[in-house]
Amino acid sequence: MQFTAINFTCPSCGAPQKFSPATGKLVCEFCHTQTDINVSQDNIREYEFTEAVATLNTQKNQIIEKNVKCKKCGGSFTLTPYSFSSNCPYCNTPAITDFIKDITPKSLIPFTLTHKEAQALFKKWVGSRWFAPNAFKKYLDGDNTLTGYYLPYWTYDSDTTSFYRGLRGDVYYVTVTKTIVQNGRQRQVRVQEPRINWTPVSGTVYVSFDDVTIGASKTISRAILDSLEPWDTSKLVTFNEKYLSGFEAEEYTVGLDNGFEFAKVKMAYKIDQNIRYDIGGDQQQVQQVQTQYENVSYKNVLFPVWTASFHWGDKEYHYAINAQTGKIVGERPYSYVKIIFTVLTLLGIVGGFLYMNETGVLQELIGRSATHYLR
Ligand SMILES: [Zn+2]
Ligand SMILES: [Zn+2]
């Protein structure tokens, strides 16, 4: 399908203008002329969920290839499915297209963290991971290691009513007589021992949720999307293509209804905490929960993320930085050479025989260190 891409040209020299996270304005890369963006928070509202899902179910979820002709150089290129903002691969001019999906973002959080700031944060983060391979650190010295993405998210609001059954545990103490051996002699002592009295309980808790955010992109793993939280949704501004100029942007690939299933999992965690508080006592067992969701509403939004990926060995590692807060998440590659060297030094191993003996221990240490954590 042929799409016409829009871009914004500099009023002074006609070169393309891109969004600058530093100033919040459009800036000409060529002559640095700035153009204001009319910042607005008008019409940012929640939409009724049930009705929207019912309408969407009747429509097809098709993948459409977007053929785009660059307005600047006339070059033709194809955007990846669901992408609606990118840069021309020939002349780097921003290209923003129409949406394919029926639900489109009505608001977004603009980038505030610049490419430079993100890169500095990232270098610092990797620098503090001293097991990272040198090749990784070197890679970060490059200039174009990060790509800026506006990623699609759903936000959900819901009032919940949860009926629960469980057990309340109250600790009490009993005095028991025990036989101990002291100085070779047996002696009887009386000690206090804790016991728990479990009582069946049931009840109802009400929890209201506002803006539970769920990543709706399949480009980045759910683990990373979730770990980028929290997002300050009070900073949402009305959607305007100008914010996208120069950045990649995607439409959602996790549907409105599937997104809500993920939201339920997140809500269940807070509901469980509320149930435990409601049960009281010293310990709680929650055996059964039935939750009803009322007044469910949603928003489709875009959040700003700097991303990077790094090939090392036979694996690709992905990273992302929340471009609103600077929070970094990702998998860290580990240099086994560095780990082994350190462990050997710590153990003070010099002889070959000892080294052989410790190999099992080493492998265990390495195996443990090599698991990838999300921070
Ligand atoms: Zn200019
Ligand atoms: Zn071009």
Ligand nearest to the CA of 14: 1
| Cα 85 to ligand 2 centroid, rounded to whole Å | 13
Ligand nearest to the CA of 7: 2
Quick one: three-class SS letters along the chain?
A: CEEECECCECCCCCCEEEEECCCCEEEECCCCCEECCCCCCCCCCCEEHHHHHHHHCCCCCCCCCEEEECCCCCCEEEECCCEEEEECCCCCCEEECCCCCCCCCCEECCCCCCHHHHHHHHHHHHHCCCCCCHHHHHHHCCCCCCEEEEEEEEEEEEEEEEEEEEEEEEEEEEEEEEEEEECCEEEEEEEEEEEEEEEEEEEEEEEEEEEEEEECCCCCCHHHHHHCCCCCHHHCEECCHHHHCCCEEECCCCCHHHHHHHHHHHHHHHHHHHHHHHHCCCEEEEEEEEEEEEEEEEEEEEEEEEEEEEEECCEEEEEEEECCCCCEEECCCCCHHHHHHHHHHHHCCCCHHHHHHHHHHHHHHHHHHCCCCCC
| Cα 109 to ligand 2 centroid, rounded to whole Å | 27
Q: Provide the pLDDT confidence category of residue 1 given band limits of 50, 70 and 90.
A: confident
Provide the percentage of residues in the chain whose pLDDT is more than 70.
82
| Cα 144 to ligand 2 centroid, rounded to whole Å | 19
| Cα 89 to ligand 2 centroid, rounded to whole Å | 7
Read off the pTM: 0.82
Ligand nearest to the CA of 27: 1
Q: Above 60 in pLDDT, residue 124?
A: yes
Ligand nearest to the CA of 86: 2
Ligand nearest to the CA of 5: 2
Ligand nearest to the CA of 72: 2
Ligand nearest to the CA of 70: 2
Q: Provide the pLDDT confidence category of residue 370 given band limits of 50, 70 and 90.
A: very low
| Cα 218 to ligand 2 centroid, rounded to whole Å | 27
Which pLDDT does position 155 carry in this prediction? 97
- Can you tell me the mean pLDDT for 271-289? 97
Which pLDDT does position 24 carry in this prediction? 96
Q: Provide the pLDDT confidence category of residue 114 given band limits of 50, 70 and 90.
A: very high
- Can you tell me the mean pLDDT for 220-233? 91
Average pLDDT, the chain: 86
| Cα 270 to ligand 1 centroid, rounded to whole Å | 51
pLDDT, tens digit (0-9, with 9 covering 90-100), for 300-356: 999 999 998 877 777 777 889 999 999 998 866 555 655 565 665 655 544 444 444
Ligand nearest to the CA of 33: 1
Provide the percentage of residues in the chain whose pLDDT is more than 90.
62
| Cα 67 to ligand 1 centroid, rounded to whole Å | 28
| Cα 150 to ligand 2 centroid, rounded to whole Å | 21
Which pLDDT does position 238 carry in this prediction? 97
| Cα 246 to ligand 1 centroid, rounded to whole Å | 15
| Cα 68 to ligand 2 centroid, rounded to whole Å | 10
Q: Where are the domains of the chain?
A: 1-37+60-101, 337-369
| Cα 92 to ligand 1 centroid, rounded to whole Å | 15
| Cα 96 to ligand 2 centroid, rounded to whole Å | 12
pLDDT, tens digit (0-9, with 9 covering 90-100), for 43-71: 899 999 999 998 886 555 667 788 999 88
Which pLDDT does position 57 carry in this prediction? 61
Q: Above 60 in pLDDT, residue 363?
A: no
| Cα 141 to ligand 1 centroid, rounded to whole Å | 29
| Cα 19 to ligand 1 centroid, rounded to whole Å | 13
| Cα 34 to ligand 1 centroid, rounded to whole Å | 8
| Cα 5 to ligand 1 centroid, rounded to whole Å | 20
Using the CB atoms, write b or e for 35-68: b if 16+ within 10 Å.
Answer: eebeeeeeebeeeebeebeeeeeeeeeeeeebeb
Q: Above 90 in pLDDT, residue 245?
A: yes
Q: Above 80 in pLDDT, residue 277?
A: yes
| Cα 245 to ligand 1 centroid, rounded to whole Å | 15
pLDDT, tens digit (0-9, with 9 covering 90-100), for 172-204: 999 999 998 988 899 899 999 999 999 999 999
Please give the residue that has the higher pLDDT: either 133 or 53: 53
| Cα 69 to ligand 2 centroid, rounded to whole Å | 8
Which pLDDT does position 108 carry in this prediction? 97
Q: Provide the pLDDT confidence category of residue 246 given band limits of 50, 70 and 90.
A: very high
Torsion of CA 69, 254, 302, 101, to 10 degrees: 40
Which pLDDT does position 3 carry in this prediction? 85
Which pLDDT does position 49 carry in this prediction? 96
| Cα 142 to ligand 2 centroid, rounded to whole Å | 24
